[in-house]
Amino acid sequence: MASHAPPRSRASDDGDDAEANASPRSAEEVEASADHGLVDRLRQSDVDAAKTLYLRYYERLIRFAGSYVSSRDLAEEVVQDTFLALWTNRETVVIRDNARVYLYGAVRNRALTQLAHDRVVSRAEETALREDLTYGMARPTPRPDQQLEADALSHAVARAIASLPEARRTAFVLRWRHELPYDEIARIMEASVTAVTVHVSRARAAIAALIGDYADR
């Protein structure tokens, strides 16, 4: 007598269909989930969890802080102070969203405080943004005239970004340099997605106009 496999239940079929149709998680979702576990461990004074968060975000946050302060040394100080504060207040710190949103927001606030203390905002931003624009970019050695032209344009773009209003500049740097999604930038800046979109659009228009003026010279 031939044997027959037991009939599959409809619930089982539905479960298999749901699993098959489930879309894979994005890299951002995977990172956010991993960060959530690290924050839980950090609250329990897990040094390894704190170190993992530190290493994961340190260089990204250095570059972000560098769009505000005048040197890499100051950017490192801002980021290190942010992580120190996180560790010191690990049992009571409120992280309403995810670790990345919290860290970018905390670094932004601390960098703005640093700028207010320095009282050299314009010069510091221009220097930091000029360095950020060329950070880590390997290129063939251009001719002297090409180098002069590239340097002049790079300086002009840096000045344009530095001259933007703070909110517009922050939105643009987070979107252009750090490639964060609009909704996450909105949470970092405590603004609406619509406001962030407008800030980025107007920043691009201002910079494009400046480059156009430069090209017409």
Asked if the structure places residue 98 within a domain, the reply is yes
What local confidence, expressed as pLDDT, does residue 143 receive? 60
178 vs 126, more confident:
178
39 vs 131, more confident:
39
Helix residue ranges per DSSP H, 89-165? 99-118, 121-134, 144-163
| Domain limits for position 57 | 30-137+144-215
Residue 5 is classified by DSSP as: P
Rounded CA gap, 206 and 172, in Å? 11
Statement: residue 120 has pLDDT above 70: no
Statement: residue 211 has pLDDT above 70: no
**Residue-wise burial string across 31-65, b where 16 or more C-beta atoms lie within 10 A, e elsewhere:** ebeebeebbebbeeeeeebbebbbebbeebbbbbb
Asked if the structure places residue 3 within a domain, the reply is no
pLDDT digit string (tens) for 24-46? 667 677 777 888 888 899 889 99
Statement: residue 193 has pLDDT above 80: yes
What local confidence, expressed as pLDDT, does residue 136 receive? 46
Asked if the structure places residue 1 within a domain, the reply is no
Tally of domains in the chain: 1
Cβ proximity of 53 and 61 under 8 Å: no
User: Considering the entire predicted model, what is its pTM?
Assistant: 0.58
pLDDT digit string (tens) for 86-95? 998 888 988 8
Q: How far is CA 179 from CA 142, 148, 172, in A?
A: 28, 29, 9
Average pLDDT score over residue span 139-151: 59
CATH of the domain at 75: 1.10.1740.10
Average pLDDT score over residue span 97-112: 90
Asked if the structure places residue 109 within a domain, the reply is yes
Q: How far is CA 148 from CA 10, 55, 136, 161, in A?
A: 71, 37, 19, 20
pLDDT digit string (tens) for 43-57? 899 999 889 999 999
pLDDT-based confidence at residue 179 (cuts at 50, 70, 90): confident
Rounded CA gap, 161 and 107, in Å? 19
Asked if the structure places residue 61 within a domain, the reply is yes
* Sign of the alpha-carbon torsion through 181, 59, 52, 110: negative
Asked if the structure places residue 85 within a domain, the reply is yes
60 token code pair:
């990204």
Asked if the structure places residue 14 within a domain, the reply is no
pLDDT-based confidence at residue 19 (cuts at 50, 70, 90): very low
pLDDT-based confidence at residue 17 (cuts at 50, 70, 90): low
Asked if the structure places residue 11 within a domain, the reply is no
